[in-house]
Structure 1
Amino acid sequence: MSNACSHRQIFLSLCFLFCFTFPCYVKSDELQILLTLKSALNKSSTDVLDSWAATGSFCSFNGITCDGGGSVKEIELSNQKLTGVLPLDSICQLQSLDKLSMGHNSLYGAITEDLNNCSKLRYLDLGNNPFSGPFPDISALSELQYLYLNGSGFSGRFPWKSLENMNNLTVLSLGDNLFDRTPFPDQIVKLRKLNWLYLANCSIEGKIPPSIGDLTELKDLELQLNYLSGAIPSEIGKLRKLWQLELYGNELTGKLPVGLRNLTSLEYFDASINYLEGDISEVKYLTNLVSLQLFMNRFNGGVPPELGEFKKLVNLSLYTNMLTGPLPQKLGSWADFDYIDVSENLLTGPIPPDMCKKGTMRGLLMLQNRFTGEIPTTYASCATMKRFRVSNNSLSGIVPAGIWGLPQVEIIDIAYNRFEGPITSDIKNAKEIGILSAEFNRLSGEVPKEISGATSLVKIELNDNQMSGEIPDGIGELKALSSLKLQNNMFSGPIPDSLGSCASISNINMANNSLSGKIPSSLGSLPTLNSLDLSRNELSGRIPESLSFLRLNLFDLSYNRLTGPVPQSLAVEAYNGSLAGNPGLCSSTIKSFKQCPPDSGMSKHVRTLIVCLAVGAIMLASLGCILYLRRKEKDHNRSLKEESWDVKSFHVLTFTEDDILDSIKQENLIGKGGAGNVYKVMLSNGVELAVKHIWNTDSHGRWKSRSSTPILGRRSGKEREFDAEVQTLSSIRHVNVVKLYCSITSEDSSLLVYEYLPNGSLWDRLHTSRKMELDWDTRYEIAVGAAKGLEYLHHGCERPVIHRDVKSSNILLDEFLKPRIADFGLAKIVQANGGKDSTHVIAGTHGYIAPEYGYTYKVNEKSDVYSFGVVLMELVSGKRPIEPEFGDNKDIVSWVSSKLKNKESVLSIVDPRIPVAFKEDAVKVLKIAILCTTQLPALRPTMRSVVQMLEEAEPCKLVSIVINKDGEVKKKEAMDPADKFNL
């Protein structure tokens, strides 16, 4: 008996000891798991993990919450700038873990671990991380209530069956992933406790099932940017708790369902960019709406007058439909109204007067309708207004003076109306205005001299009015000005000489006025000018020799009173019509002009003597210049050598700093640009390099001395371009992007050393005497290669790179005519926080600039896509982006659009140098170019899709290409490539 008791006591003691010490072992294991997690995230740029040490209690670690027994219950490390590979198999060994929140970080890699060991999880957030590969099965996580995987980089087939047992799910967020296409998953409509369902942009196709109405707890339903088709089911009206309904960017058809009126809690409703039709009367019952977005559909009928009584409504977008009748006059008068866009409809009546009653309105966009009446004076005091656009209507009266001087306005667009009266001096207060578009009205009076105070102006379009007086000299103070259109008015007096100070200007049109005096020679110093029309005025005197230095696509001085000889560089047959109607002009080379008279009053011998003396003087002067330049070059090279240089290499270098500096001399100069000179360098081993030499300037554009310092930390434009180019190119490794070997910088100047591309640019090959060398196969290969380079910039870099100046002169060709994207001086890297770039300086080159620059100034990847579409049009047609044959204010995009009438007309676009056998292949590429240059950015393909489409358009391969609203390839099938261009 005593022996048995002894054994029992020993057993109980062991049990007690085991139970007492087991938590220590558990805690030790949990500490090790957390330290393993910290080690995996050791590249973190945050200090959130500094408290995670081997000593002390892990329950005090940042982001860790323990349960009553001292075990890890929650890991909350979202939005902490963490990076690394997540060790999920280790994390899932935390037996009490019910919350894992790692969203909004930079975690990467594939999820290959078995998450089913995390069976107690109620909350899992891996959203907004750059993971890769498919997402694994999580069937065992039956306790889950919150699942966030949105924007996580996952692809392939999602394990929808995993959701079958998750009956407690209240939040399911899977959107913005590249999952395989799938019909609307049946498993979703069985999750009856869901109140938040985010399935946007995750490749769901087919119809929205009527059973969606069974999810009666839903407050947020987001299905936008998918492939959904068919009608919106009436059963959606059962979701009476809905606060937000997002259906935009699909292929939905039919009318708004009658049951929609039951969603009286709805505040945000967006069904834009679909094929919906019928009236919008159902929305009149949704009295709690804050935002209503139904743009780009096929709706007709009137705007319900009840919208004028909506007390919360702040955003209304109904543009690009077929709506008729007036707008409610009380619209936007109740809440802090933000913007209205009802453009491109058939609306009539007056503009509602009180949308800026609360002083919060930012956008009034009502262009291209049939509105009548005057602009209500209430908008003259709307200090928050940024975009005021009412063009293409039947509005009349005098524009309220305060409109011209709204302090935050970026666009004033009142073109194509019947407005009268002057532009007032208030415009000096419009410090943010970039575009003033008032053409085709009945405006009168002078351009106020106070316009010089609107220093952000990029475009002034006042053509086709009744304006008079002199053009103010202060217009030369508008340093950002790129386009000045004053044609078809009654302006008189001289052209301001100060206009030569507008270094960014590319388009000047003053035709059909009464301007007099001489043409300012300062116009010849404008570096970016490519269109100059001064025709049908009363200009006199000689044509300035300085105009010879311009590279103009459009040039017209016809029907003036110009006299004297035509400058030699302008005395070509191509400019005959551009100089017509000036009987006082003469030329020794153009037959249609009278011959310039020989010098008179002296004998032939005297003239010969003068010529000989002049030639001798020129020779002596030339010799002196040569000696001076050589001496200057030696001094220049010596000064370069004396500077202190900092070399940053991005590839293995086979040359030294001295090899480069010794080659920066006049005889090696191969190009000049706005950013600096370009030199060709031949190394001793036969390798050729190109070196861009950029002189640094201070923030006011003056040359910097060694002793100068940046003013208040500002950097000059050239320095910023240099920084942009180095930042962009240093990390890029792609066969179709020009290779940057190194940067060499000093305080006074900077050098960028590139690979040398011997065949120049695509512009040179297409638009100079060498263009015969490019057959269609070569053009096609250039298109594909350049597209792949841009695709890499947009999709292959850690953060997308927006080039912002895509054009044929920035596509360089190697010895095998393989393309490289070059010149990244204007490039922007998309910031990780998603911030959008916005600037009043239009980046890019006239003819390539996307139309959205004109009204938003927003820079994004779709702007590059538009510019690349222009390049494709160049490749197909052989024409420049701007040609005189296109007509006034027309570019290659509008010219191509005008040709899309029938097969013969389409084929006429193709460069006649392309053989007939390849014309239909060229049309396939033209079709892609048209998609790329669609007016609305959202409807343009991504560069990834452009590459795919171009590869499908390989010569001798007949395809049709259709893309969906978010820019991805929809389908491909054989058809006639010029079949009415049903894009």
Structure 2
Amino acid sequence: MSNACSHRQIFLSLCFLFCFTFPCYVKSDELQILLTLKSALNKSSTDVLDSWAATGSVCSFNGITCDAGGSVKEIELSNQKLTGVLPLDSICQLQSLDKLSMGHNSLYGAITEDLNNCSKLRYLDLGNNPFSGPFPDISALSELQYLYLNGSGFSGRFPWKSLENMNNLTVLSLGDNPFDRTPFPDQIVKLKKLNWLYLANCSIEGKIPPAIGDLTELKDLELQLNYLSGDIPSEIGKLRKLWQLELYTNELTGKLPAGLRNLTSLEYFDASSNYLEGDISEVKYLTNLVSLQLFENRFNGGVPPELGEFKKLVNLSLYTNMLTGPLPQKLGSWADFDYIDVSENLLTGPIPPDMCKKGTMRGLLMLQNRFTGEIPTTYASCATMKRFRVSNNSLSGIVPAGIWGLPQVEIIDIAYNRFEGPITSDIKNAKEIGILSAEFNRLSGELAKEISGATSLVKIELNDNQMSGEIPDGIGELKALSSLKLQNNMFSGPIPDSLGSCASISDINMANNSLSGKIPSSLGSLPTLNSLDLSRNELSGRIPESLSFLRLNLFDLSYNRLTGPVPQSLAVEAYNGSLAGNPGLCSSTFKSFKQCPPDSGMSKHVRTLIVCLAVGAIMLASLGCILYLRRKEKDHNRSLKEESWDVKSFHVLTFTEDDILDSIKQENLIGKGGAGNVYKVMLSNGVELAVKHIWNTDSHGRWKSRSSTPILGRRSGKEKEFDAEVQTLSSIRHVNVVKLYCSITSEDSSLLVYEYLPNGSLWDRLHSSRKMELDWDT
């Protein structure tokens, strides 16, 4: 009996000891698991894991929540700048873990099937990480309520069948992953507790199933950016709790379903960029709308008048449809209205006056319609306006003065209307304006000199108006200006010399005005000028020699009062018509012009100076020849191959440096220029190359002597031309631009190796006597 009691006491003691020590073993294991996780994320740029120490309690670690028994229940480390590979084989040994939140980090690698061991998870967030590979089957996670995998780089076929047993799922976010294309999954419409479904941009195709109407708890349904087709099912009207419906950028057809009117809780509706048609009358019942986006469809009919009574509406985009009739005049007058874009429709009537009533509007875009009437004066005080675009309508009247000076406006586009009056001095307040487009109106008066204060201007398009007076000299202060179009007005006086300070300008058109005086020579210093049209004015004097430095696609000085000789570089056939109508011009090249006298108007003193300079030049040339011959005799044994060359390739090369250097000889010479010679090189494999040999000279045109100074420290003169050509051509990859294979540089000279093109340059085709028919439309 005593032995039995003794054994019983020993057994009870062991049980007590086990029950007392078991939690310690569990906690020790959990500590090791978390330390393993910390080690896997040790490259993270964050201090969030600093509290995870081997001597600490896991329940005190940042991001860790324990249950009543002291076991790890939640890991919340989302948006913590973590990087590394998740050790799921270790994490899923945490027996009580029901929340794993690692979203919005930089975690990478694959998600393994070890995730199935986290069978008690109710919340899983791996979204917005750069993972890779397919996502595994997770059928074991049947208790999940929240699943976030959006934007995480998963690919391949998603295991939709994994969702079949997740009957408690309320949030499913799988969008923005490049999955394989698949029809709308049947498993989705069986998840009756879903209130948030995000399947945007994850390759869903086919029709939206009518059974979508069974998900009556849905508040957010986002199916945008997929390949969905067919009609929007009328059953969608059963989703009476829906707050947001996003269907944009699919291939949906048909009309807005009749059941749509039942979605009276809907605040955000976007079905833009589809092929929907019919009227939009269904939206008149959606009185809680905050944002309505139906642009780029085929809708017709009118805009429901009820939209003018919507108390929450702040965004309305209906552009590129076929809508007709007027806009509700109370539109946007109730809430903090943000923007409207109804461009490219057939809308008529006046502009609603009170869309900026609350002072929050940023965009008014109503271009390409048939609106009439004046611009409401209320918009002149809309200080938040950034884009004001009403071009291509039938609007009229005087533009309210304050419109020109809106402090945050970036675009004022009122072109192709019937506006009158001046551009006022208020323009000086428009510090952010980049584009001023008011062409084809009836604007009059002078161009306000205060326009120089609008220093962000990039484009000024005021052509085809009735503006007069002088072009303000302050135009030169607009350093960002790239396009100035003032043609077909009544401007007079001189062209401001300050225009030559607009270093970014590429397009100047002042044709058909009454401008007078000389053409400013400063225009010849504009580095990016591509088009210059000063035709049909009253300009006089000589054509500045500085214009010879420009390479223009469009050049027109015709029908002015210009006199004197045409600069030689402009006396090419392509510019012949560009100088017509100037009887005072003379040229020895154009037969249509009178011949210039031999002295070309030079005085006796100038001719004497030229003769002296010519004699001096001959003497210097003779001296130079003597010195050159002596040096040639001294250095006759020196060849190009003795130089130290630096090769920089821009394509895969099939030739060597020696192949090029061996071909630089007289019999291969095919062209000469001021900077050097051009040689044709035939490689052993039959490939033909063109090699441009540029000599490096100092500021006096002398050969540079050898020294130990690094090449890059001596770039000047012709070498700057070489650097510019290399920088430009090496960055271009275009079928119609000659290919630069490599550059080869030494101390005394530089080589550019191109593909060989036998028919010369485009300049030769256009301007020389070797014209030939081009094989594209000109």
Q: TM-score range by the shorter chain?
A: 0.7 to 0.9
For 2:675 and 2:388, locate their aligned partners in 1 and report how far apart those are by CA, in whole Å.
35
Deviates more, 1:613-622 or 1:156-165: 613-622
Residues 433/209 of structure 1: CA separation in 2 closer, same or farther (3 Å cut): same
Alpha-carbon separation, structure 2, partners of 1:5 and 1:662: 109
Shift of 1:363: 0.1
Contact 1:637 1:661 in 2 (8 A): no
**Paired residue for 2:391?**
391
Alpha-carbon contact 2:530-2:553 (below 8 Å) kept: yes
CA contact (8 A) 2:711 2:747 kept: no
Distance in 2 of aligned mates of 1:265 and 1:467: 53
Deviation at 1:736, TM superposition (A): 17
Taking a change above 3 Å as real, the CA distance of residues 617 and 339 of structure 1, as seen in their structure-2 partners, is same
Which range moved further: 583-592 or 353-362?
Answer: 583-592
- Cα distance change, pair 149–629 in 1 and its aligned pair in 2 (3 A): farther
1:644–1:109: structure 2 CA closer, same or farther, 3 Å change rule?
farther
Q: What is the CA-CA distance between 1:15 and the residue it aligns to? A: 2.5
Is the contact between residue 486 and residue 509 of structure 1 (CA under 8 Å) also seen in structure 2?
yes
Stretch of structure 1 that moved more, 592-601 or 120-129: 592-601
Trace 1:399-418 onto structure 2 (pairs within 5 A).
399-418=399-418
Aligned-pair distance for 1:760? 14
Structure 1 residues 571 and 307: CA distance shift in structure 2, 3 A: same
CA contact (8 A) 2:574 2:766 kept: no
Q: Residues of 1 paired with 2:413 and 2:221: CA distance?
A: 37
Matches of 2:373 and 2:348 in 1, distance apart? 10
Deviates more, 1:371-380 or 1:704-713: 704-713
Looking at structure 1, the residues matched to 53 and 703 of structure 2 have their Cα atoms a distance apart, in angstroms, of: 54
Sort the Cα spacing of 1:169 and 1:547 in 2 relative to 1 into closer, same or farther, 3 A.
same
Q: Note the C-alpha offset of 1:10.
A: 2.8
Contact 1:207–1:228 (8 Å) recurs in 2:
yes
SS at match of 1:726: helix
**Offset of residue 735 of structure 1:** 17
Deviation at 1:560, TM superposition (A): 1.0
Q: Distance in 2 between matches of 1:402 and 1:714?
A: 56
**Greater CA deviation, 352-361 or 665-674?**
665-674
Deviates more, 1:588-597 or 1:511-520: 588-597
Distance 1:762 1:512, change over 3 A: closer
Matches within 5 A, 1:310-325: 310-325=310-325
* C-alpha separation in 2, matches of 1:198 and 1:604: 87
More off after superposition, 246-255 vs 22-31: 22-31
1:752-771 Cα shifts (integer Å, max 9, x gaps): 99999999999999999999
Deviation, 1:648, is 17
| Greater alpha carbon shift after TM alignment, 350-359 vs 74-83 | 74-83
Q: SS at the partner of 2:639?
A: helix
2:729 corresponds to which residue? 729
- Distance between the aligned counterparts of 1:220 and 1:715, measured in 2? 63
SS in 2 for 1:618: helix
Matches within 5 A, 1:55-70: 55-70=55-70
Kindly state the Cα deviation for residue 50 of structure 1 after the two structures are TM-superposed. 1.4
Deviation at 1:83, TM superposition (A): 1.1
User: Could you tell me whether the CA contact under 8 Å between 1:699 and 1:710 is conserved in 2?
Assistant: no
Kept in 2: contact 1:698–1:715 (CA 8 A): no
Following the alignment from structure 2 to structure 1, what is the Cα–Cα distance between the partners of residues 312 and 652? 62
Q: Deviations 1:627-648 (Å, cap 9, x if unpaired)?
A: 9999999999999999999999
- Between 1:117-126 and 1:672-681, the stretch displaced more is 672-681
The structure with the largest alpha-carbon Rg is 2
How far off is 1:141 after superposition?
A: 0.4
After superposition, residues 214-363 of structure 1 pair within 5 angstroms as 214-363=214-363
Asked if the contact 2:573/2:767 (under 8 Å) is kept, the reply is: no
Instruction: Work out the percentage of aligned pairs sharing the same amino acid.
Output: 98
Give the whole-Å Cα distance in 2 for the aligned partners of 1:521 and 1:293: 53
Native 8 Å contact 2:572 2:767 kept in 1: no
Q: Which range moves more in the overlay, 60-69 or 274-283?
A: 60-69
TM-fit CA distance, 1:684 = 23
- C-alpha distance in 1 between matches for 2:373 and 2:700: 46
Q: CA deviation at 1:750?
A: 20
> Contact conserved, 1:637 with 1:662, CA < 8 A, in 2?
no
- Give the 3-state SS of the residue equivalent to 1:19 in structure 2: helix
CA offsets, 1:580-636, max 9 Å, x none? 111111111223322211128999999799536434258759999999999999999
Q: Give the match's secondary structure for 1:23.
A: helix
1:437-482 CA-to-partner distances (Å, cap 9, x unmatched) read 0000000001000000000000000000000000000000000001
Alpha-carbon spacing, 1:172–1:743, altered in 2? closer, same or farther (3 Å): farther
Q: Report if the CA contact (8 A) 2:391-2:414 is conserved.
A: yes
Q: Structure 1's 359 and 124: CA in aligned 2 closer, same or farther, altered over 3 A? A: same
1:400–1:259 CA distance, 2 compared to 1 (3 A): same
Give the Å deviation of 1:34. 1.1
User: 1:195 matched to which residue of 2?
Assistant: 195
Q: CA deviation at 1:702?
A: 30
Secondary structure of the 2:412 match is strand
What's 1:588 paired with? 588
Q: 1:95 to 1:497 in 2, by over 3 A?
A: same
Distance 1:475 1:633 in 2: 59
Structure 1 SS opposite 2:638: helix
Aligned equivalents of 1:373, 1:430: Cα separation in 2: 25
TM-score between both structures, scaled by the size of structure 1 = 0.66
Residues 747/348 of structure 1: CA separation in 2 closer, same or farther (3 Å cut): farther
Deviations 1:730-757 (A, max 9, x none): 9999999999999999999999999999
Report the secondary structure of 1:155's partner residue.
Answer: coil
Match of 1:657? 657
Asked if the contact 2:711/2:746 (under 8 Å) is kept, the reply is no
* Matched-pair contact (CA < 8 Å) for 1:142–1:165: yes
The whole-number CA distance in structure 1 between the counterparts of 2:193 and 2:703 is 68
Deviations along 1:702-748, one digit per CA (max 9) or x if unpaired, are 99999999999999999999999999999999999999999999999
- CA 1:358–1:760 in 2, change beyond 3 Å: closer, same or farther? farther
Compare 628-637 and 228-237 and name the one that shifted more.
Answer: 628-637
The alignment of Structure 1 onto Structure 2 pairs a total of residues equal to 778
- In 2 relative to 1, CA 490–775 (structure 1 residues): closer, same or farther, beyond 3 Å? closer
* CA separation of 1:775 and 1:448: change in aligned 2, threshold 3 A: closer
Distance 1:774 1:739, change over 3 A: closer
SS of structure 2 residue aligned to 1:613 = helix
1:318 positional shift: 0.2
Contact 1:699-1:715 within 8 A present in 2 as well: no
Return the offset for 1:542: 0.9
- What's the counterpart of residue 54 of structure 2? 54
Contact persistence 1:442–1:466 (CA under 8 A): yes
How far residue 16 of structure 1 moved from its aligned partner, in angstroms, is 2.4
- Alpha carbons of 1:475 and 1:301: their partners in 2 closer, same or farther (altered >3 Å)? same
Deviation at 1:300, TM superposition (A): 0.3
Do the aligned partners of 1:699 and 1:714 also contact (CA within 8 Å) in 2? no
Question: TM-score scaled by structure 2?
Answer: 0.82
Counterparts in 2 of 1:663 and 1:439: CA distance versus 1, 3 Å: farther
Q: Structure 1: which 4+ aligned runs deviate by more than 4 Å?
A: 600-610, 617-778
More divergent stretch after superposition (105-114 vs 477-486): 105-114
Q: Is the 8 A contact 2:390 2:413 kept in 1?
A: yes
Note closer, same or farther for the CA distance 1:540–1:759 as it changes in structure 2 (3 Å cut): closer
Residues 431, 245 of structure 1: alpha-carbon distance in 2 compared, 3 angstrom cutoff: same
For 1:665 and 1:37, how far apart are their aligned partners in 2?
69
Q: What 5-or-longer segments of structure 1 have no aligned partner?
A: 779-983
- 1:574 is displaced (CA, Å) by 0.8
CA separation of 1:744 and 1:369: change in aligned 2, threshold 3 A: same
Q: Deviations over 1:482-501 (max 9, x none)?
A: 10000010001110000000
Superposed, 1:54-93 pairs within 5 Å as 54-93=54-93
**Richer in helix (by share):** 1
Q: CA deviation at 1:46?
A: 1.3
What's the Cα RMSD here?
7.8
Q: Which stretch of the first structure deviates more once superposed, 103-112 or 729-738?
A: 729-738
Report the Cα distance in structure 2 between the residues aligned to 1:705 and 1:310, rounded to whole angstroms: 82
Determine if contact 1:311/1:335 at 8 Å carries over to the other structure. yes
Select between 121-130 and 360-369 the one with higher mean Cα deviation. 121-130
SS of the residue aligned with 1:351?
coil
In the TM superposition, what whole-angstrom CA distance separates every residue of 1:195-231 from its partner, at most 9, and x where no partner exists? 0000000000000000000000000000000000000
| Unaligned stretches of 5+ residues in structure 2 | none
- Shift of residue 28 of structure 1? 1.4
How far 1:558 sits from its partner (Å)?
1.1
Q: Structure 1's 693 and 443: CA in aligned 2 closer, same or farther, altered over 3 A?
A: farther
Task: Please give the per-residue CA displacement for 1:253-310, whole angstroms capped at 9, x wherever unaligned.
Answer: 0000000000000000000000000000000000000000000000000000000000
Asked whether the 8 Å contact 2:521–2:546 carries over to 1, the reply is: yes
How far is 1:128 from its partner? Answer: 0.7
